[in-house]
Amino acid sequence: MEVLTAKYEFSDNVLKITLSGEIDHHSAKAAREEIDLRILECKAGTVLIDLRNVGFMDSSGLGLILGRYTHAKEAGSVLKIVNPSPGAEKVLRMAGSDKIIPIIHRKNN
Amino acid sequence: MKKVINETELVFSAVSENESFARCAVASFCAQLDPTLEELSDIRTAVSEAVTNAIVHGYRDSGTGKVYISCKILENRTLVIKVRDKGCGIEDIALAMTPLYSGDPSGERGGMGFSIMESFTDDLKVISGLGKGTTVIMTKKFSPFNFCSVDPKTI
């Protein structure tokens, strides 16, 4: 399977986290702590999680996003989802998470 | 009883590394139905939820025990997937199936597993007893196979 990787870019008070690969219970466990650490370190006003390269995501991925949303809020950051893949967006909308975490579609970046 | 056209069975250790193996194996078996990308994604997600539940809740993430999957393709492009564990079982099935309820105290799992299985398939049955393990039966009917979906000019 595709291993889950995270790429971090921090500029202009925005931390962009690009996740690539498959998010399930197994891969989410490893990603959680690392992402939390970066959110704490950067203390950015906005945290963007880019899901365009996430080929698969189940409710563990949803749990990962919701957990990071809470963590970011405690760190004083606002978290948003950018360009989710169709599969990831279906899970997010089915669970109604888009009512608290905005989903943004952008053509560039 | 509907006629079984094709079937397969899988048995694997209840470790989280096998979550991706299980959903990929079932998706590969479904390929003969020529599913749409969305149907395939729905099946992968529903299987991943059922298998994760078996590993995390059925066997309490102990790394012991086995997960059993059986897939049957019936007439009318219907797929029946059974995911079974011989773990601790569910005390209150209705409570476990409530959206946002999670038996995991860490709060990192969302509690949406059964809701996703329900919404991504056409029928979901859960059979469980304390100490007797849990069986999840999911049924999905695939959209009619359409030769016209391939543009003849591209052949």
Per-residue pLDDT reduced to its tens digit, B47-82: 999 999 999 999 998 989 999 999 999 999 999 999
The per-residue pLDDT for B150 is: 56
The per-residue pLDDT for B100 is: 83
**Token pair of A21, please?**
């690969």
Which residue carries 């079982």 as its tokens? B89
Instruction: Give yes or no: B84 in active site.
Output: no
Asked if the structure places residue A109 within a domain, the reply is no
Cβ-proximal residues to A91 (8 Å cutoff; 6+ apart), any chain = A57, A58, A59, A61, A62, B45, B116
- DSSP letter for B90, please: -
Contact B108, A36 (CB under 8 A): no
The per-residue pLDDT for A81 is: 98
Residue A66, chain B, CB below 8 Å: the answer is: yes
Measured between CA atoms, how close is B56 to chain A, in angstroms?
9
Residue A22, chain B, CB below 8 Å: the answer is: yes
The per-residue pLDDT for B147 is: 60
- From the list A1, A64, A66, which residue is nearest B24 (CB)? A1
Nearest to A79 by CA among A15, A23, A34, A21: A15
SS (H, E, C) chain A: CCCCEEEEEEECCEEEEEEEEEECHHHHHHHHHHHHHHHHHHCCCEEEEEEEEEEEECHHHHHHHHHHHHHHHHCCCEEEEECCCHHHHHHHHHCCHHHCCCEECCCCC
Instruction: Kindly state the average pLDDT of the residues A24-42.
Output: 94
Instruction: Kindly state the average pLDDT of the residues A77-82.
Output: 98
Range of the domain at A68: 5-104
- For residues A21 and A6, what is the distance between their CA atoms, to the nearest angstrom? 9
Q: Output the CA torsion B117→B118→B122→B127 (10° steps).
A: 80
The per-residue pLDDT for A100 is: 94
Q: Tell me: the pLDDT tens digits for B80-124?
A: 999 999 999 999 999 999 988 887 766 666 789 999 999 999 999
Q: Tell me: the pLDDT tens digits for B118-153?
A: 999 999 999 999 999 999 999 999 998 766 555 556
Instruction: Kindly state the average pLDDT of the residues B24-28.
Output: 97
Residue B1 has pLDDT above 60, yes or no: yes
The per-residue pLDDT for B153 is: 62
Instruction: Give yes or no: B38 in active site.
Output: no
The per-residue pLDDT for A88 is: 97
Instruction: Kindly state the average pLDDT of the residues A13-34.
Output: 95
- From the list B19, B48, B109, which residue is nearest A63 (CB)? B109
CATH number at residue A43: 3.30.750.24
Contact B16 A94 (CB under 8 A): no
Asked if the structure places residue A37 within a domain, the reply is yes
Which residue carries 């959209």 as its tokens? B143
Q: B4-142 has which CATH code?
A: 3.30.565.10
Asked if the structure places residue A27 within a domain, the reply is yes
**Number of domains chain A is built from:** 1
The per-residue pLDDT for A107 is: 82
Helices (H), B13-137: 18-30, 37-53, 93-96, 113-120
